[in-house]
Amino acid sequence: MAARPEPRPGVMQIEAYVPGKSKAGAGVVKIHKLSSNETPLGPSPKAMEAVRAMDHFELYPDGSATALREAIGAKYGLDPARIICGAGSDELLSLITNTYVGPGDEGLFSEHGFLVYKIAILAAGGVPVVAPEKDYHADVDAILARVTPKTKIVFLANPNNPTGTYLPFNEVKRLHAGLPPHVVLVLDAAYAEYVRRNDYESGLELVATAENVVMTRTFSKIYGLANLRLGWMVGPAHIIDAVNRIRGPFNINGPAMAAGIAAIQDDAHVGRAIAHNEQWLAWLTKEIEALGLKVTPSVGNFLLIHFPNEAGKTSKEADAFLTGRGLILRRIDAYGLPDALRLTIGDEEANRLVVEALRDFLSGRTSHA
């Protein structure tokens, strides 16, 4: 008999998720937080107004998030009954995993996939299985080769964080076609709104026609509501029904629902965010590559910057140099990318300062020119 309570198998294998840092050292006057893929435009003013208009905080919110699900359904032409909302898409990723994965079951994801997948699988008592990628892209053949009778769930972040790469929709359909019908395919489309590629689809078409596909989305990125924790998932009726049975009864708070409804209806604000990202994603890619650094082509609101593994120019040294100037990027060692940093697209000032700082870092300058 154990001398004290012991966590069940799998829990202590979890490496706790560490968010992007938000602080610099003493003496830094202004900080530009570019480590968490937050939008530099902030939320829709209409969303902020909706939150300020909230009252009756003594009352529980609508446990079914009815008005929010209806707003999402109206936006995308979906049946609200097939939508479930969560405290960020992170909660929904955990809920779908806990619904279909048990002790000894396998959950599958790509090599540089979102860290929450592994955490969710281990927390459910499952076994994480990793498929290698090709040039920082998910590899459909590698994923399918690792499917076994124990596989219960497959996660595909499309676009992927932290690489910024994506799979064309025909590849997503090929992945689905190769999966056994009892395996749940989770399409994590947190950055879908940013993608400007003709061969990309978030997955709504596949969800509408398949019995084993769900898609998760978030209000944390382009909608700028990360602090309110709000996400949604759409899937077949039988999956939504099952997940709802383990969902907490009041998992979405009233201000988050009000803000989400206003945000998803503000097409003009989203359009401005898309235009800003398109401009600065291209500019930053060009400018950083001109410094001699490799940048993985991205369709999201962030860039994966690779540094040479040589003294004076490593990612760790670059991170320290940039932090000293108040520019907070994301170390991604936990993703198996120790020689890279992830840069969120910021406002114009931050973007220009990053390029200037990287130029100084690579040239050996320690102070502003």
Last residue of a domain, one of 216, 243, 266: 266
The CA distances from residue 77 to 74, 81, 214, 220, 338, in Å, are: 5, 12, 16, 21, 42
CA distance 140 to 174: 8
Say yes or no: 221 and 275 in one domain. Answer: no
Say yes or no: 37 and 132 in one domain. Answer: no
Quickly tell me which residue has 């079951």 as its tokens: 105
Give the mean model confidence (pLDDT) for residues 220-237: 98
pLDDT exceeds cutoff 60 at 33? yes
In a domain, 5, yes or no: no
Say yes or no: 148 and 176 in one domain. Answer: yes
Q: Which two tokens stand for residue 1?
A: 């008999």
Say yes or no: 82 and 107 in one domain. Answer: yes
CB atoms within 10 A of CB 194: 23
Give the CATH number, domain containing residue 337.
3.90.1150.10
Say yes or no: 255 and 273 in one domain. Answer: no
CB atoms within 10 A of CB 268: 9
CA distance 171 to 178: 11
The domain in which residue 92 lies consists of: 45-266
pLDDT digits (tens, 9 = 90+) for 96-133: 999 999 999 999 999 999 999 999 999 999 999 999 99
Say yes or no: 143 and 249 in one domain. Answer: yes
What percent of the chain is helix, strand and coil (3-state, nearest 5)?
Answer: 40, 15, 45
DSSP 306: E
Quickly list DSSP for 119-183. Answer: HHHHHTT-EEEEE--BTTB--HHHHHHT--TTEEEEEEESS-TTT-----HHHHHHHHHHS-TTS
Residue 252 half-sphere exposure, CB side, CA atoms within 13 Å?
29
Alpha carbon 364 to its chain's center: 34
In a domain, 299, yes or no: yes
Say yes or no: 49 and 197 in one domain. Answer: yes
Fill in the amino acid letter for 72.
I
**Residue 369: what pLDDT?**
47
pLDDT exceeds cutoff 50 at 50? yes
| Collapsed DSSP state (helix, strand, coil) of residue 232 | strand
Q: What is the largest CA-CA distance in the chain?
A: 67
Say yes or no: 31 and 131 in one domain. Answer: no
The CA distances from residue 35 to 17, 26, 341, in Å, are: 14, 19, 9
**Residue 355: what pLDDT?**
98
CA distance 216 to 194: 15
pLDDT exceeds cutoff 90 at 93? yes
Dihedral over Cα of 304, 308, 314, 316: its sign: positive
In a domain, 214, yes or no: yes
Contact 159, 195 (CB under 8 A): yes
Beta strands in 251-301 (DSSP E): 294-296
Say yes or no: 244 and 261 in one domain. Answer: yes
In a domain, 296, yes or no: yes
**Residue 16: what pLDDT?**
78
Confidence of residue 244 (pLDDT cuts 50, 70, 90): very high
| Rg of the chain (C-alpha set) | 21
In a domain, 369, yes or no: no
Give the CATH number, domain containing residue 57.
3.40.640.10
Say yes or no: 238 and 282 in one domain. Answer: no
Last residue of a domain, one of 266, 289, 321: 266
* Percent of the chain whose pLDDT exceeds 70: 98
Nearest to 113 by CA among 316, 332, 277: 332
Contact 33, 22 (CB under 8 A): yes
In a domain, 153, yes or no: yes
Say yes or no: 67 and 149 in one domain. Answer: yes
CA distance 96 to 152: 11
Q: Which two tokens stand for residue 339?
A: 């020689």
| Collapsed DSSP state (helix, strand, coil) of residue 327 | strand
pLDDT digits (tens, 9 = 90+) for 270-324: 999 999 999 999 999 999 999 999 999 999 999 999 999 888 899 999 999 999 9
Say yes or no: 146 and 240 in one domain. Answer: yes
In a domain, 301, yes or no: yes
Burial 349-369, CB ≥16 within 10 A → b, else e: ebbebbbbbbebbbeeeeeee
**Residue 191: what pLDDT?**
98
In a domain, 4, yes or no: no
Fill in the amino acid letter for 126.
G
DSSP 310: S
pLDDT digits (tens, 9 = 90+) for 67-78: 999 999 999 999
Tell me the pLDDT of the chain averaged across its residues. Answer: 95
Confidence of residue 159 (pLDDT cuts 50, 70, 90): very high
**Number of domains making up the chain:** 2
CA distance 282 to 280: 5
Last residue of a domain, one of 197, 232, 266: 266
Contact 224, 43 (CB under 8 A): yes
Give the mean model confidence (pLDDT) for residues 68-94: 98
